Chain A
């Protein structure tokens, strides 16, 4: 049996979880086994009603007042109990921040390996291998498991929620959750959003994104001039924000905004995984980078191997002259 765990994102099934459902159905078909879907914790009934239309063997809910609010303590305990009782071969989830927070605890409690951030699966006639990016996405690896069970998290877009087979669960069950106050050591407060004075990059048609390859904060005006000439919004990778060169609301990636502009023009961005998940839906990607091995080139339509600080001022001038 394979088990998919659904995550609640403010009242809706997390988009990564939908992709995990598609993955679960594919696993069940390839491995000729049952698929169970688990709704856990916060707003479990809402999750359950949204999961009614997925083809699956079982739809299970795990409900308890103590996990109405997410905590790593509560979720890891309950999921460990579910796994111990149902013995799924694979547990499938999206590689979300919540999963990163609690799933390693399950791995350690049960001594089951956790392969995280998987980009593709080779079913390899019943003995699946899992690919993930390593060495800052410059290489990929194929991973094999030597254990009866494994926890697997998938990078966004490893599977597509468009491939979900509709249907209905054959049975609907409630898991008998055993939790006491002493199981929850931490105290979680409600989620909140910082008041942002920022820009909505998700609706921008043209984005000029800058990475650490621009070398210095002093070069930002040069980049801004190109953005102005093109009518593009300026965005950035995480290091640029961490160094305080640009405000957090300019950041694209797993901890920033997810964008899909007509053109994503990246300047000196290496293309670390955390950044790429935020921009790989762009219709066109044009990348300038000095390093020909930069992973950004793997998803670029146009690859310029060169010095961004030499090319950008000249390009700005040309664009302005052509107006």
Chain B
């Protein structure tokens, strides 16, 4: 079985995010890029499916973005056990999910993957569309928010998470593009051997040009505070004294 895992480099949770001078993108120079969280679960799921399937199964880690931000993401995937990598170079900050998906689909079509796994959404753009869009563009079956997968011959059975504690099993024929919910498994850490071996693995770099977008950012801004927020500051003792006053006298909850 031939499995692609889509991974994205996104700013870490701890990174300071500031709007740059253009007003429509962020200052990337002060950002630490890491692997998008749910993509780590997608990679682990792919590795487990490969290990169970045996034979000549293959896991290919795929990313799109600027060279500077994404190199770590591919290395991480290869170190954890992906067999090879595809890096689709795109130096423009493309934000339209359909444009992004078309670039992926154009570059991955000839690979004829049986399965494409992606995280349910990227924590930077949060559109949650890429995996499904690519599935449709490549005429694959699709499912989202998978919390369990079972390969059954030429089909894959997926437990989908619905809202508020409900679930649904869906059986999909291959080829299939499935987005993975976080928490589906326990992502492995790369071993030292894996890290060393990653350098010898095949990494194919493809060029993609800036494509027209049907939706684009007019600007980026710091959200307005929806509430009047009282800031509580000071050393720990001062903060605790203020919190006691709030809990006891203002909110009357203790």
Contact = CB atoms under 8 A, between A and B. Distances in A.
A177 interface: no
B137 interface: yes
A117 B223 contact: no
Interface string A239-262: 101100000110000111110001
Interface string B209-248: 0000111111111111111111111001101110110111
Nearest to A132: B126
B220 A191 contact: no
B98 A111 contact: yes
Contact of B231 (A129, A144, A185, A305): A305
Nearest to B231: A303
Interface string A196-230: 10000000011000001000000000000000011
Interface in A105-129: 105, 107-109, 111-117, 129
Contacts of A258: 164
A298 B223 contact: yes
Interface string B180-193: 01110000000000
A33 interface: no
A322 B241 CA distance: 12
Interface string A275-305: 0000000001110000101010111111111
Interface of B is mostly: mixed
Nearest to B182: A242
B136 A76 contact: yes
B69 interface: no
Contacts of A137: 223
B160 A101 contact: yes
A29 to B, nearest CB: 23
B218 A145 contact: no
Contact of A135 (B17, B97, B145): B17
Residue among A96, A239, A255, A291 having the largest count of chain B Cβ atoms under 10 Å? A255
A202 to B, nearest CB: 10
A113 B214 contact: yes
Given A97-B145, A140-B221, A300-B227, A107 B26 contact: no
B232 A304 contact: yes
A104 B132 contact: yes
Nearest to A292: B231
B253 A303 contact: no
Interface of A is mostly: mixed
B215 A305 contact: no
A87 interface: no
A288 to B, nearest CB: 8
A180 interface: no
B135 A139 contact: no
A177 B232 CA distance: 59
Contacts of B16: 293
A186 B174 CA distance: 10
Nearest to A230: B254
B208 interface: no
A134 B221 CA distance: 10
B111 interface: no
A97 B220 contact: no
B114 interface: no
A272 B216 CA distance: 22
A286 B246 contact: yes
Nearest to A185: B141
B63 interface: no
A84 interface: no
A147 B98 CA distance: 12
A239 B142 CA distance: 25
B138 to A, nearest CB: 10
A187 B182 contact: no
Contact of A319 (B218, B224, B244): B244
Contacts of A134: 124-126, 220
B16 to A, nearest CB: 7
A186 B223 contact: no
A319 B167 CA distance: 41
Given A141-B221, A146-B213, 14 more contacts: A100-B128, A101-B143, A104-B97, A114-B127, A136-B13, A142-B217, A147-B215, A185-B141, A187-B170, A256-B164, A263-B251, A302-B232, A304-B232, A314-B236
16 contacts: A97-B145, A107-B97, A116-B128, A140-B220, A141-B218, A142-B221, A150-B214, A190-B168, A258-B164, A262-B251, A263-B251, A286-B243, A298-B225, A298-B227, A302-B229, A315-B240
Interface of B: 11, 13-14, 16-17, 19, 24, 26, 37, 96-98, 101, 123-129, 132-133, 135-137, 141-145, 160-173, 181-183, 213-233, 236-237, 239-241, 243-244, 246-248, 251, 253-254
Q: State the 9 A-B residue pairs at the shortest beta-carbon distance, nearest first.
A: A242-B183, A108-B136, A104-B132, A113-B214, A104-B129, A189-B169, A113-B215, A147-B214, A142-B218
